[in-house]
């Protein structure tokens, strides 16, 4: 494959955009080489500026769960755009998507829309602090909750890919209020509660971690967090920016049958437009301005184009009874295929999967937290990534990311991918 135009476009971009990208992981720094510039995408495929076709396993980092340029979403955006793209006034559309989201997700009465997952998590934390009157939060090493200050403490995703899990620019004061725990380690969390009695406003967690590769919660972990929160008057925040509307209609709350106090959304909920949201039961949501004291706002929040896209996406997911079974079956098929191919080599590996989130770690021991995720052989991953890219398969350019399976992938696409993985893994 040739990447001439991508290389040229990247060189031009680097002159006017820091690192040539508007979000760090896109720059390929973790794997080397030149980022691919996309021209267009349809269904399961990306078409780049050099005319290469790639089977896409990132899908805009999750949102395109039905594939790219899904027609009902595209049409809804076009129709809406003709009527004006922003008003800064309420529209009926906002209530429509709110009603639908509230009906799909368990245990929430009200939802507020924002413009990104970062904003959703940042606002969820502020609300939890306002509601409880406490300052401290617990987050888990390797979990990513967007780039707001409180969360850039041992953060996952791009932050860890570039070795800056703790970013300069975050004040000591802010960092002090973020307590760090190890994923899947209940004792660790219990100790933090005991050392900070009456001070912890919230635990925020990715109920299935997806920003250090895919790491499912071990049995009893989420239940244990729920019990600790109940015992200490602390709110449990599920960051479902990745898992929401992906693992089930009602996200991880539904899948694991565990109630969160506040839920943050992003990615799928916007159908590919910049949308985030946070939701909770009335008692908590009524703490928000204009009816409560906790301030939160946004000029473009509830933007009609974004709401039209999100609404169409949620409608499709809500009305397709088999979608999550289909996604799970396709991803399971891919998992089995990858295992068969890797077993034919001497490579050691661990594959983690929950529903349509899956990741391959080149290490033999179980990957259950950030430490074990970091043990993976990054050199092997780099070669694996570039080998697949040369075969026209696009996975995330970092070992710390999940692959996102879309409903647009056919079994032929999966077979093509598995065959390519077979060829590439023999060269590693
Ligand atoms: C992507 C992500 C975010 C941040 O969302 P943005 O829209 O990129 O700001 C937050 N939490 C999780 C779990 C995510 O995967």
For 185-206, what is each residue's pLDDT tens digit?
999 999 999 999 999 999 999 9
**0.95 cut: is pTM over it?**
yes
Q: Which atom of ligand 1 is nearest to the CA of 242?
A: 15
CATH architecture label of 4-69+322-425:
Alpha-Beta Complex (3.90)
CA distance 338 to 351: 9
Q: Is 394 considered catalytic here?
A: no
d(C-alpha 118, C-alpha 2), whole Å: 35
What are the tens digits of pLDDT across the range 293-303?
999 999 999 99
Nearest ligand 1 atom to alpha carbon 23: 8
Among this protein's residues, is 239 annotated catalytic? yes
Residue 240 beta carbon below 6 angstroms from any ligand 1 atom: no
Cβ distance 202 to 232 under 8 Å? no
Write out the two tokens for 224. Answer: 């244990």
- Tell me if 139 CB under 6 Å of ligand 1: no
pLDDT (0 to 100) of residue 153: 79
Two tokens at 279? 């939701």
CB of residue 118 inside a 6 A radius of ligand 1 = yes
* 396 close to ligand 1 (CB < 6 Angstrom): no
Is any atom of ligand 1 closer than 6 Å to the C-beta of 117? yes
Supply the pLDDT for residue 175.
86
How many angstroms is it from 345 CA to the middle of ligand 1? 35
Reduce the secondary structure of 277-310 to three states and give it as a string. EEEECHHHHCCECCCCCECCCCCCCCCHHHHHHH
Q: What does pLDDT average to in each consecutive run of 10 residues of the chain (428 residues)?
A: 91 97 91 95 98 97 98 98 98 98 98 98 98 97 94 73 68 89 97 97 98 97 98 98 98 98 98 98 98 97 98 98 97 98 97 98 95 93 97 94 97 98 97
- Selecting among 249, 267, 330, 341, the annotated active-site residue is 267
Which protein residue has the closest C-alpha to ligand 1 atom 5? 117
Out of 22, 145, 183, give the residue to mutate to test ligand 1, the one with the largest number of ligand atoms within 8 Å of its CB: 145
pLDDT at 164: 53
pLDDT at 162: 55
Sheet with strand 403-404: strands edge to edge? 350-354, 357-361, 403-404
Q: Residue with the nearest Cα to atom 8 of ligand 1?
A: 117
Residue 266 CA to ligand 1 centre (angstroms): 7
Determine which residue's CA is closest to atom 10 belonging to ligand 1. Answer: 145
The catalytically annotated residue of 48, 56, 177, 239 is: 239
Nearest atom of ligand 1 to the alpha carbon of 116: 7
Residue 40: predicted pLDDT: 98
Q: Class of 71-319 per CATH?
A: alpha beta
- Ligand 1 contact, 151 CB (< 6 A): no
Q: Is 83 a catalytic site residue?
A: no
Instruction: State whether the beta carbon of 242 lies less than 6 angstroms from ligand 1.
Output: yes
Listed by start position, the domains of the chain span 4-69+322-425, 71-319
Which residue in 92, 148, 152 sits closest to 125, CA to CA? 148
Q: Look at residue 152 in the predicted model and tell me its pLDDT.
A: 86
* Dist CA 422 CA 158 (whole Å): 28
Q: Is there a contact between 211 and 219 (Cβ–Cβ < 8 Å)?
A: no
Sorted by sequence, the CB contacts under 8 Å of residue 121 that are 6+ apart come out as 145, 146, 148, 151, 204, 237, 239, 241, 264, 278
pLDDT at 161: 57
Task: Find the 120 Cα to ligand 1 centroid distance in Å.
Answer: 9
């Amino acid at each position: 494959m040739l990447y001439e135009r991508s290389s040229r476009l990247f060189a031009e971009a680097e002159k006017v955009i820091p690192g040539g990208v508007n979000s760090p992981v896109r720059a390929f720094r973790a794997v080397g080489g030149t980022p691919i510039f996309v021209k267009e995408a349809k269904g399961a495929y990306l078409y780049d500026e050099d005319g290469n076709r790639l089977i896409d396993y990132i899908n805009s980092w999750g949102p395109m769960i039905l594939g790219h340029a899904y027609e009902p979403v595209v049409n809804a955006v076009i129709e809406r755009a003709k009527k004006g793209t922003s008003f800064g006034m309420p529209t009926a559309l906002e209530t429509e998507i709110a009603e639908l989201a509230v009906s799909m997700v368990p245990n929430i009465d009200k939802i507020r829309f924002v413009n990104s997952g970062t904003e959703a998590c940042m606002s969820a934390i502020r609300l939890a602090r306002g509601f409880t009157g406490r300052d401290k939060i617990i987050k888990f090493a390797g979990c990513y909750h967007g780039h707001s200050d409180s969360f850039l403490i041992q953060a996952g995703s791009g932050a860890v890919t570039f070795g800056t899990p703790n970013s300069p620019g975050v004040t000591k004061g802010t960092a002090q209020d973020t307590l760090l725990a190890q994923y899947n380690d209940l004792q660790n969390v219990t100790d933090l509660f005991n050392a900070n009695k009456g001070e912890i406003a919230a635990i925020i967690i990715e109920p299935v971690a997806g920003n250090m590769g895919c790491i499912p919660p071990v049995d009893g972990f989420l239940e244990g967090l729920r019990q600790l929160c109940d015992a200490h008057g602390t709110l449990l925040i599920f960051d479902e920016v990745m898992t929401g509307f992906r693992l089930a209609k009602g996200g991880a709350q539904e899948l694991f049958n565990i109630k969160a106090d506040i839920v943050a959304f992003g990615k799928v909920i916007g159908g590919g437009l910049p949308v985030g949201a946070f939701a909770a039961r009335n008692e908590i949501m009524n703490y928000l301005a204009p009816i409560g004291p906790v301030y939160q706002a946004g000029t473009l929040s509830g933007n009609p184009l974004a709401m039209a896209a999100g609404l169409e996406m949620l409608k499709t997911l809500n009305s397709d009874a088999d979608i999550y079974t289909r996604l799970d079956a396709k991803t399971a098929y891919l998992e089995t295929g990858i295992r068969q191919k890797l077993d034919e080599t001497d490579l050691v590996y661990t594959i983690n999967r929950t529903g349509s989130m899956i990741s391959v770690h080149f290490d033999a021991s179980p990957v259950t937290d950030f430490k074990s995720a970091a043990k993976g052989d990054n050199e092997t991953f780099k070669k694996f990534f570039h080998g697949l890219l040369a075969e026209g398969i696009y996975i995330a350019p970092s070992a710390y990311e999940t692959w996102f399976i879309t409903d647009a992938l056919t079994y032929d696409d999966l077979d093509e991918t598995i065959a390519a993985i077979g060829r590439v893994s023999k060269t590693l």
